[in-house]
Structure 1
Amino acid sequence: MFSYNLPDGGLRARGFINAQGEIKFDPPVFEQRYTTAVRILEDPLWGQKFKKVVDFGCAEMRLLSLLRRVDGIEHILEMHYPFQVDINEDLLRSNKLKAEPLVSDYLKKREGPLRVELFKGSIDASVAELQNVDAVIALEIIEHLYPKTLENVPKNIFGFMQPKIAIFSTPNSDFNVLFTMLPNGFRHDDHKFEWTRAEFKEWALNICQQYPNYKVAIIGVGDAPPDKKEIGYVSQIAIFVRRDLLNHSLIEPLCNQIRVDCNPDPDFQYKEIFAVDFPYNIDERSKEEKLLDEARYQISRCQRVDRYFNRDLGVYQVPLTVLKDYIENIDATMDELLCVLKQDDIEVKGDYIILPEHDEDESSYRHYDDCYDDDYGTWDDARYDNENIATDDEVGACGGSSPGKDDATYESEENWD
C-alpha cells in the first residue's frame, strides 16, 4: 500500500444527525465521490495528464459533466453495466443530451480534442474499446455485481486494460449502524453485498498481490458525526496506481492482449449507444508564426508598462523572460525566438527587447505596471480586477476576464447508496 491525501487539504464536508434523527451529509455524498475522483485525476502528484478515461457508471451520467472539464482528457468512455439484461436503452439515449456539447462549447471552443462515447456492456469484458486506457473510474459499482462478474473485474482492468490509475468506491458496511436497512439487509435493493473496511482492504490487497504492478491507497468520503468517527466513512475508496506513476519500476511487462476467459456471455458484449466529438480550436500556425504573434502581443502590452521605460535612453527595455513560459509551452527555444525577432526587425540587446517610446499619452496606462509579476513573469489580471479598477464589459485591462459565480445547485436526494 501507499499513503495518499487529497491535494489542498481534502474536502470540506461534514456528516450530522438532523432533527428527525437521520444521518445527513453536506455536501451530498454523491457529490463528494465525484469531486474526489476528479481531484485525484487532477492531482499534480502524478506528474502527467490522463488522456483516455473510462467511467464504469450508471445511466445518470452525472460524473461526465465534471470529467469533460478536466484538463488533458481527450477521450471519455461511459460504460454502463447492464445490471439487468433488459436494460432500458431508451434511458441511455435520453441521457445523450448530457454528453452533447453545450452552446457555450461552440462559443468558447476547447484548446484540445474531446470525444465522448456511451456504451452498453459488461465491466468484465475485455474488448478493443478498452485498450490504451489511462484511468478507470468505478464508483459504487462492484456491490451490484454477481460473484462471477466480480471475480473477472480484476482480470479485465488490471490484467487486460492495465491503466495508470483506477478508482473504486463501495459502501462501508461499518457505517450501516446509522441507517435503516432495506429488507435485503443492504442500503439498495440491488446490492449483492456490502463490505466492511477490513473486507474492502483485503480485496484491494489481494488485487495488488495478483497484479504486482499496482499499489493501493484507501481513503473515504462521507464523514460520520463527530461522536461516531470510529465507524469510518460512509463510502470507501481504493486508489490503485501503477508503480511507474509513483516512479517505481514495473515488476511485470505491460501487455494488454485480449483474453478470451475475461469475456462474458455474448449478450453482454459492448454496444455503442452514441458518440460525439466536441468542437475545439485547431491552431494551424507554424511555430515561427506563434512566436512572432506572441512577441508582438507582449510588445504591445509592455510599451505601456512604466517600469520598463529607460528615460535616459528614451526606449523600453523588455526582458526576454516575459516570453519564457510561452516558449516552453510550445516546445520552442530562446534561439528560435531570437531568430524570429531578428527576421521581423525587432531589436534585441543582451537579455532585453528594445522598443521605441510609445507615442500615446502614457499617463493613462500607468496602472499596467502593477499587473505584471516580475518574480513569475506573468500578468496578474485577477489582482487588477480585484482592486476595482474600471474594466470594459468585465474584461480586465490587462487582458483577463473577471471571475464569475457559479450558482448551480443540486436537488435534494438520497445519496448514501
Structure 2
Amino acid sequence: MSKETRAELSETDGSKKLEDENSLGDVRFYPPLYTQRYSFAAKILEKHDAKWVVDLGCSECAIVRFYREVPSVQKIQLVDIDREALDFNKNRIKPRPSDYIFKRANPLSIEIYEGSATSLDNRTIGCDAVSMIEFIEHLYPDILEEVEENVFGRLRPRLVVVTTPNYEFNSLFPGELRFRHYDHKFEWIRSEFQSWCQGVCEKYSYSVEYTGIGDPPLESQEVGFCSQAAIFTSSSESKPSIESKECCYCLVAESTFPYKDKDTLSAEETLKSEVSYIINLLTSNHRSMDSDQSCFCVQKDDKEQMEIPVDHLMTFSRISKLVKTDDLKKFLHENGYQLTEDQSTLIIPLEDEWEDRYHDGSEEENETDICVEDSNVNFYEAATSCAIDTEEIWD
C-alpha cells in the first residue's frame, strides 16, 4: 500500500480511531506502551548525561514524571500548541512532598510553553537534548520539514530522541488496516522512517541509531517494534549559529525543585525529613494496614485517627540510625506531634487537615513515592509499575 493510499484511508476512516494500543485484542503491552516509551526516552537522556531537554509535542505533560528523575537533568522545557491540555495538566510539574524530603543533588527547573515546534524561542537555545515522542506523525509534510530545520538546523542539540508508530505492526491489530489515530497525518513503515532519518543525518551532520519500543509476539517478529525509535547524536561542539531574540512561546507554568545534598543537612533537619516521610508512608497506606498489628486505626469523638507506637517508628532504620527512643519522643513532642499521655504512641488524625499537611492536592503525587518505600528503587520501574493516570495513550 502506497503512502498516498494510506493517507487517503486515514482521511476517509477517521472516525474509527485506535486510541488504546492495550485494548485492541490479542496484542497487549505491560507496562502500557506509552510508559515504555517515556521510560525509554528517560534512559537515553541518562545514558548521554543530558542536562537540558526540550520535549516537543508534550501533550498531557506526563513524560515529565520520568524526566525529572534523571539525575543529570537540570532543566526541562515542555512545548505544545494545545493550550487547553497544558492548562489542565500544568500541576504535573509541581514538586511532590517527597521532593522536599529527598532533595536532589542538582538543581531542576521545569517550564511549560504554549508554542509551535516550527518556531525558535530564544529560551530554548542552548539545550543539549530534544525529544519528540509520538509527535512527528501528527504533522503535515511541510510542517515536518520546518520542525526538522528548527531542531536539527537551528537548535542543533547533541542528542535528539524520536519515536513514531511502525505501520507494519498495525497488521497485528484486529479489523481493517488503518492508522492508529484520526489525527495522524502519516504512519511510516521502517524503511520510510529510516530513509527520513538518513536524510536528516546527511543534511545536518548527525549520526543515528535505530531501535524500538513494544516487542511483537514471538510468531510475528518480522513486523518489528510497535513504535520505532531513532537516537540522533552529533559530535560537533559548535553552538547554534542562529540566535533568536524572540520569545515566541507563551509561558504557561514553571516550577523550581528544591535541591541540597542530604549530607549537608543538620542532624535535626535530617531527622525531621525522615520522620515526616515514614509518617506520610504509614498514613497514606492506612486503609490497607490490617495485617500490620503495630499500627491501627480507631474512632474517637466521631473522628478516625491512627495510632503508631513510637517503638514501631524505631523499627525503621531511617530513624533508628539517627536517634534513640527517648530522644525521638522528645523530638516529636517539641515538633508539635500529638502523643499519648505516657508518650508511647503517636496519634495521627486521619482527616483533611492532616492530609493537606503532606499533600499538594495533585492526583498523581503518590505514583512513585508511596508505591516504594526505598528512595533508591529504580525510578523507571517505579514509574511504570505505579502509573495510574488516565492519559490518552494513543499519542
Structure 1: stretches of 5+ with no match in the other structure? 1-16, 245-249, 294-390
Structure 2: stretches of 5+ with no match in the other structure? 1-20, 267-313, 323-371
Residues 218, 235 of structure 1: CA spacing in aligned structure 2 closer, same or farther, 3 A cutoff? same
5 Å-filtered alignment, 1:397-416, equals 403=374, 408-410=386-388, 415=393
Residue 412 of structure 1 and its aligned partner are, at CA, apart by 8.2
Once the two structures are superposed, what CA deviation does each residue of 1:195-237 show, in whole Å capped at 9, x if it has no partner?
000000000000010011x100010011111000000001000
Tell me what 2:42 maps to: 38
Residue 72 of structure 1 and its aligned partner are, at CA, apart by 1.7
Does 2:316 correspond to 1:393?
Answer: yes
Once the two structures are superposed, what CA deviation does each residue of 1:106-134 show, in whole Å capped at 9, x if it has no partner?
23322221111100111111220220001
Tell me what 2:165 maps to: 171
| Aligned-residue RMSD, C-alpha | 3.5
Residue 24 of structure 1 and its aligned partner are, at CA, apart by 1.0
Between 49-58 and 214-223, report the one with greater CA deviation.
49-58
Tell me what 2:257 maps to: 278
Cα distance in 1 for residues equivalent to 2:320 and 2:115:
52
1:234 to 217, 226, 233: 226
Once the two structures are superposed, what CA deviation does each residue of 1:8-64 show, in whole Å capped at 9, x if it has no partner?
xxxxxxxxx999943111221111111111111112xx4xx2211111133311110
2:208 to 210, 213, 216: 216
Residues 203, 74 of structure 1: CA spacing in aligned structure 2 closer, same or farther, 3 A cutoff? same
Q: Is the 8 A contact 2:25 2:174 kept in 1?
A: no
Does 2:16 correspond to 1:25?
Answer: no
Work out which structure has the larger RCO, using CA pairs closer than 8 Å and 6 or more positions apart in sequence. Answer: 2
Q: Is the 8 A contact 1:182 1:188 kept in 2?
A: no
5 Å-filtered alignment, 1:347-358, equals none
Residue 256 of structure 1 and its aligned partner are, at CA, apart by 3.2
Alignment-mate amino acid for residue 386 of structure 2: A
Residue 146 of structure 1 and its aligned partner are, at CA, apart by 1.5
Residues 233, 195 of structure 1: CA spacing in aligned structure 2 closer, same or farther, 3 A cutoff? same
Classify the secondary structure of the residue corresponding to 1:23: coil
Residues 72, 393 of structure 1: CA spacing in aligned structure 2 closer, same or farther, 3 A cutoff? same
Cα distance in 2 for residues equivalent to 1:19 and 1:142:
24
Residues 186, 42 of structure 1: CA spacing in aligned structure 2 closer, same or farther, 3 A cutoff? same
TM-score under structure 1 normalisation?
0.58
Residues 20, 169 of structure 1: CA spacing in aligned structure 2 closer, same or farther, 3 A cutoff? closer
Cα distance in 2 for residues equivalent to 1:98 and 1:188:
25
Q: Is the 8 A contact 2:152 2:204 kept in 1?
A: yes
Cα distance in 2 for residues equivalent to 1:173 and 1:181:
14
Residue 393 of structure 1 and its aligned partner are, at CA, apart by 2.1
Classify the secondary structure of the residue corresponding to 2:61: coil
Higher radius of gyration, 1 or 2: 1
5 Å-filtered alignment, 1:366-385, equals none
Once the two structures are superposed, what CA deviation does each residue of 1:129-173 show, in whole Å capped at 9, x if it has no partner?
220001111000000012221011221111111111000000001
Cα distance in 2 for residues equivalent to 1:128 and 1:33:
28
Classify the secondary structure of the residue corresponding to 1:24: coil
Alignment-mate amino acid for residue 208 of structure 1: C
Classify the secondary structure of the residue corresponding to 1:77: strand
Q: Is the 8 A contact 2:114 2:251 kept in 1?
A: yes
Tell me what 1:118 maps to: 112
Tell me what 1:59 maps to: 59
Q: Is the 8 A contact 1:219 1:236 kept in 2?
A: yes
Cα distance in 2 for residues equivalent to 1:20 and 1:128:
42
Residues 20, 218 of structure 1: CA spacing in aligned structure 2 closer, same or farther, 3 A cutoff? closer
